[in-house]
A and B are shown apart, each in its own frame.
Chain A
């Protein structure tokens, strides 16, 4: 319990240091764009694939359940609301941690093990500014964008099942959804959540990489910690944000 609290304290101190040492110059902009590409574009395959199948299975289950109550028409509404409000942001953040987060942790951990962070320090280049800052900003930008793509793919999966497999009318599928889903209250709240989750996922990924022991075992442990800590803290934060937003 105490060691867990100590770890949280260290992570918060680390974040404080990282934010207080943030600088913006032309070199940083280029490096940040590069990190957005690495974190975002390289997570696209997993986001697109998982999004499509989550939409598919969610529609299948929802359709089956609602049919028992004679409310099959509401399937598209349930699909969209659960995606925009909860599943999209949460699953995207967890998938991001598994794909890009572990990669960031391992990269920074190996940089420590191979003295690359020391080399930056010795060249009077702040590693916080050069390594941590671009990755934090990349998470903040990439995760909301990925969450929107995840939602689009899940809706596509839903349409595929409802319209092409079950033979439902596409006009009523989209019409019911449009009538019940609000852009600000449902969609934008989801985007807001995913900004928070993105920052959290990137923070934990850089923190565990930064504090990893400079050994193979240390880096392996750090990547595992990134996935576990991100999954748990995203779910906790999701509850807190939902409570405030509803």
Chain B
């Protein structure tokens, strides 16, 4: 599999992306370069389009305008067959792990190897055990996902995503709902795997504090485009109101606390009249 050593060339480029879903403009003229061989965090308010960006990278969505270029390949122009070939070099950790509940942990990780390689079973066994050892769950190989905790399932899903040694790893909210120990383990794993294998990693997360320990670059997406992209320490010092609100977790600011509604006094008085 192709590995992404750290180079000056960006691994992923979003060029003037516009995307409309269900009549709503999600991304509007978005431009972003993601460096090769580093961990990049995508942050932003809920519904801003972070997961949508991952789906553009995986080719699950096609932009209405613009190009998504991954290591020189224009993803939105690939045929279904080419897309399948491309996806073998992209590992994705979905939000809830998405493990196959009718397969054991071992078989979950062996699945992409059995489907896409000609390795014999004894070699597949070794590869699977090594992947499981990396995430610390070699002893759970014969268990079913339902017998393990949410954090462990997430680690197994990570091992499965890495099964084919992809050059690009995408993590969709890998820390959501994890206890501090599991979160610490996941954080360390993402960083270690990235450094050991020299892959490019993109992490969608809300966790501002963890991002500073994890990412080389943090990007904040809002209102359909990237409003800030810098190392996490620099972002923390930003005076831009939306960046400040997000990094400091302020309840009100450019992203309003209240859902759009008429004036409270008008609403209360009118509702009295309506019921009369």
Report A141-167 CB contacts with B as 1/0, cut-off 8 Å. Answer: 000000000000000000000000000
Judged by a CB distance under 8 angstroms, whether B216 is at the interface is no
Contact among B60, B85, B95, B112 with A121 in the assembled complex (CB-CB below 8 Å): B60
Question: In the assembled complex, which residues on chain A have CB atoms less than 8 Å from the CB atom of B48?
Answer: none
Residues of A within 8 A of B60 (CB): 118, 121-122
B84 interfacial contact with A, CB 8 Å:
yes
> Chain B 138-178 against A: per-residue CB contact (8 Å), 1 yes, 0 no?
00000000000000000000001000000000000000000
Summed over the interface, the residue pairs from A and B with CB atoms below 8 Å come to a total of: 45
- Interface bits A64-94 vs B (CB < 8 Å: 1, else 0): 0000000000000000000000000000000
Query: In the complex, what distance in Å separates the CA atom of A116 from the CA atom of B90?
Result: 17
A126 to B112, CA, bound (A): 11
Interface pair B111/A123, CB less than 8 Å apart: yes
Interface size on A, residues (CB 8 A): 12
Residue B8 CB within 8 A of the other chain:
no
CB-based contact A115/B94 at 8 Å: yes
For residue A119, CB closer than 8 A to chain B, the reply is yes
Taken together as a complex, chains A and B put the C-alpha atoms of A124 and B78 apart, in Å, by 14
Given contacts A116-B100, A122-B87, A123-B87, contact A27 B114 (CB under 8 A): yes
Is A114 an interface residue, CB under 8 A from the partner?
A: yes
Q: Report the separation of the CA atoms of residues A27 and B113 in the bound assembly, to the nearest whole angstrom.
A: 12
A122 touches B111 (CB 8 A): no
A115 to B157, CA, bound (A): 12
Choose among B92, B94, B99, B112 the residue that contacts A125 (Cβ–Cβ < 8 A): B112
Q: Tell me if B94 and A123 are in contact (CB < 8 A).
A: no
**B94 to A124, Cβ gap below 8 A?**
no
Contact between A27 and B115, CB atoms less than 8 A apart: yes
Assembled-state Cα–Cα distance A228/B120 (Å): 45
Let me know if B98 is at the binding interface, CB within 8 A: yes
In-complex Cβ contact of A124 among B87, B98, B101 (8 A): B87
B96 is an interface residue with CB less than 8 A from chain A? yes
- Scan A119-135; emit 1 where CB is below 8 A from any B CB, else 0: 10111111000000000
Q: Which residues of B sit under 8 angstroms from A115, Cβ to Cβ?
A: 94-96, 98
Interfacial chain A residues near B90, Cβ < 8 Å: 122
Q: In the bound complex, how far is the Cα of B94 from the Cα of A121, in angstroms?
A: 12
B191 shortest CB reach to chain A, Å:
23
Q: Which residue of A lies closest to B86 (CB)?
A: A124
A124 touches B85 (CB 8 A): yes
Closest CB in chain B relative to A30 CB, distance in Å = 10
The complex places the Cα of A220 from the Cα of B96 at a distance, in Å, of 22
B116 at the A interface (CB under 8 A):
yes
Q: Within the complex, what minimum Cβ distance (angstroms) separates A84 from chain B?
A: 36
Q: Is B58 an interface residue (CB 8 A)?
A: yes
15 additional contacts (CB under 8 A) given A27-B115, A121-B60:
A27-B114, A114-B96, A115-B96, A116-B98, A116-B100, A116-B101, A118-B94, A119-B98, A119-B99, A121-B87, A122-B58, A122-B60, A122-B87, A123-B160, A124-B115
Interface residue ranges, B against A (CB under 8 Å): 58, 60, 84-85, 87-88, 90, 92, 94-96, 98-101, 111-112, 114-116, 160
By a beta-carbon cutoff of 8 Å, the part of chain A in contact with chain B is: 27, 114-116, 118-119, 121-126
Q: Rank and list the top 7 A-B pairs by shortest CB-CB distance, nearest first.
A: A119-B98, A115-B98, A124-B84, A124-B87, A122-B92, A123-B112, A115-B94
Query: Can you list 20 A-B pairs, Cβ within 8 angstroms, ordered by A?
Result: A27-B114, A114-B96, A114-B98, A115-B95, A115-B98, A116-B98, A116-B100, A119-B92, A119-B94, A119-B99, A122-B60, A123-B111, A123-B112, A123-B115, A123-B160, A124-B85, A124-B88, A124-B112, A124-B115, A125-B112
